[in-house]
């Protein structure tokens, strides 16, 4: 029987200092698994799009765009002491068309693996569907972060229902100053603060958020919208700062220089939590219905914030049962109506925040990491049962 402390697990993922939401997600989960000390300290195989200076958690590196690197990694893992690989999956972090090189890894891998899905498309292209089907078919578990994606996994991708595990996106539990103290720290006076954070890209729909703020300003001139974060490195590489420049022009055209502020930097976890704490509303005006998870929305939910969002899949689930406000896609009037409701109904806003706080407790990383450990242990129990039956 495998003892807990003998289980060796590795995560295949982007990893800090690479600036990527999945990198932060994996680092948080690995750190929490180390803290709870139930299994061996997990290790990381970092996916590189260039050279990075990693910490000691990283044992191997995978060159994202080098197909041979995937086969070599499989051979290394087969000859290693790693018992289980956890593959963090997003189409854009692996090489080849729609990240198809990941299939070279799993087709040569002899140790069991789990796949965690960060994007689940309801109408995938044939190649996208094939990649996800293959990953799920050969995995021991398929992790999704929202229950409402289960029908997609079953009906679109044909995933075995017994393999599916719903584990929340974790949220760091960092102590912070009061909202009033944080407003002084960041020189934010007595405003109603709406914020959005994360790596900026056109899919975030921030122009619709800005246009909504212009409409809210007509009745509530003390509104302040904080757009927090730098442009996604891949966007900078392909298009430069075209999107950010467009947003800045929109702010100028709408005469919102006192109402919209950009903080153009990659935020630390502490800065994220502090900006969320001082915000009255967190907003995600994203334009893609397919988004199966949003780390930024998870953070806001974990902190019990009132969220105004467009109805992408993850938001629909997190904000259900009166935990937040949903606006229409690409609709500044609808977004503005939600923000005005939050400003003009403080008691109802407080009730929604209280509901979100209760829900958010289950999303703290210490609780989520325990759920991962339980899943890992069940996988090893299943493997032992299979081995006994094979004898």
Residue 310 structure tokens:
């467009």
The Cα-based distances of 71 to 45, 75, 105, 108, 115 in angstroms read: 14, 6, 5, 6, 18
Structure tokens, 207: 């122009």
Residues 90 and 145 sit within 8 Å (Cβ to Cβ): no
d(Cα 340, Cα 306) in Å, to the nearest integer?
13
Domain boundaries, the chain: 4-170+365-390, 179-361
CB–CB of 261/225 below 8 Å? Answer: yes
Task: Please tell me the distance from the alpha carbon of residue 193 to that of residue 247, in angstroms, as a whole number.
Answer: 19
CA 329 to mean position of chain CA atoms: 20
| Neighbouring-strand partners of residue 196 | 227
| Beta bridge mates, 263 | 228
Residue reference for tokens 């080849």: 96
Q: What is the C-alpha to C-alpha distance for residues 154 and 160, in angstroms, rounded to an integer?
A: 7
**pLDDT value, residue 63:** 98
How far is the C-alpha of 209 from the C-alpha of 310, rounded, in Å? 10
Measured distance CA(172)–CA(46) in Å, rounded: 22
Per-residue pLDDT at 175: 81
CA distances 199 to 156, 244, 285, 338, 365, Å, are: 29, 11, 14, 24, 22
Architecture (CATH level 2) of domain 4-170+365-390: 3-Layer(aba) Sandwich (3.40)
CB 196 within 8 A of CB 204: yes
Residues 299 and 273: beta-carbon distance below 8 Å: yes
Q: Are 116 and 88 in contact (CB under 8 A)?
A: yes
Specify burial of residue 114 (Cβ count, 10 A radius: 0-12, 13-18, 19+). buried
- The pLDDT value recorded for residue 3 is 58
Cα 383 from chain centre: 30
Do the beta carbons of residue 87 and residue 135 sit within 8 Å?
yes
Residue of 283, 353, 340, 350 lying closest to 312 (CA atoms)? 283
Phi-psi group of 34: left, alpha or beta (phi > 0 → left; psi -120 to 50 → alpha; rest → beta): alpha
DSSP output for 38-102? SSPPPEEEEEESS-----TTEEEEEETT-HHHHHHHHHHHHTSS--EEEEEE-GGGSSSGGGTTH
**Residue 119 preceded by cis peptide, ω within 30:** no
pLDDT at 383 (0 to 100): 86
Mean pLDDT for each 10-residue chunk of the chain (391 residues)? 73 95 94 91 96 96 98 98 97 96 98 96 95 98 94 97 96 86 90 94 94 98 96 89 96 97 91 93 92 86 95 93 97 98 97 94 92 95 80 64
Same fold, 4-170+365-390 and 179-361: yes
> What residue ranges in the chain does DSSP mark as E strands?
9-13, 43-48, 58-63, 84-89, 113-117, 141-144, 164-166, 192-197, 223-228, 260-263, 281-284, 306-309, 325-326
Q: CATH 3.40.50.2000: does it fit domain 179-361?
A: yes
Give 12: exposed, middle or buried? Use CB within 10 Å, 0-12, 13-18, 19+: buried
């Amino acid at each position: 029987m495998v003892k807990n402390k003998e289980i060796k697990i590795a995560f295949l993922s982007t990893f800090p200092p690479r600036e990527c939401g999945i990198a932060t997600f994996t680092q948080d989960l690995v750190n929490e698994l180390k803290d709870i000390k139930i299994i061996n300290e997990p290790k990381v195989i970092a996916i590189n799009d260039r050279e990075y200076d990693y910490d000691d958690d990283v044992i191997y590196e995978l060159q994202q765009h080098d197909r041979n690197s995937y086969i070599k990694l499989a051979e290394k893992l087969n000859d290693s002491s790693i018992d289980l690989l956890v593959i963090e999956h997003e189409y854009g972090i692996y090489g080849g068309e729609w990240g198809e090189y990941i299939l070279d890894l799993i087709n040569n891998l002899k140790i069991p693996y789990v796949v965690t899905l960060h994007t689940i498309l309801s109408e995938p292209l044939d190649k996208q569907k094939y990649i996800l089907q293959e990953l799920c078919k050969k995995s021991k578990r398929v992790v999704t972060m929202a229950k409402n994606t289960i029908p997609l996994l079953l009906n679109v991708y044909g995933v075995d229902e017994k393999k599916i595990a719903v584990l929340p996106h974790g949220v760091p539990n960092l102590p912070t100053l009061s909202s009033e103290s944080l407003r002084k720290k960041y020189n934010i006076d007595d405003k109603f603060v709406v914020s959005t954070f994360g790596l900026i890209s056109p899919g975030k729909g921030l122009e619709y958020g800005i246009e909504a703020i212009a409409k809210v300003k007509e009745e509530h001139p003390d509104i302040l919208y904080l757009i927090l974060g730098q442009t996604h490195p891949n966007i900078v590489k392909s298009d430069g700062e075209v999107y950010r420049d467009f947003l800045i022009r929109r702010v100028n055209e709408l005469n919102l220089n006192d109402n919209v502020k950009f903080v153009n930097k990659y935020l630390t976890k502490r800065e994220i939590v502090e900006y969320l704490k001082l915000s009255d509303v967190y907003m995600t005006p994203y334009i893609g219905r397919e988004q199966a998870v949003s780390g930024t929305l998870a953070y806001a939910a974990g902190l019990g914030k009132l969220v105004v969002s467009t109805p992408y899949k993850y938001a629909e689930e997190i904000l259900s049962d009166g935990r937040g406000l949903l606006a229409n896609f690409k609709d500044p009037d609808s977004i503005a109506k939600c923000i005005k409701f939050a400003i003009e109904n403080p008691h109802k806003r407080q009730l929604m925040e209280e509901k979100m706080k209760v829900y958010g407790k289950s999303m703290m990383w210490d609780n989520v990491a325990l759920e991962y450990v339980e899943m890992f242990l069940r996988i090893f129990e299943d493997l032992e049962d299979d081995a006994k039956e094979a004898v």
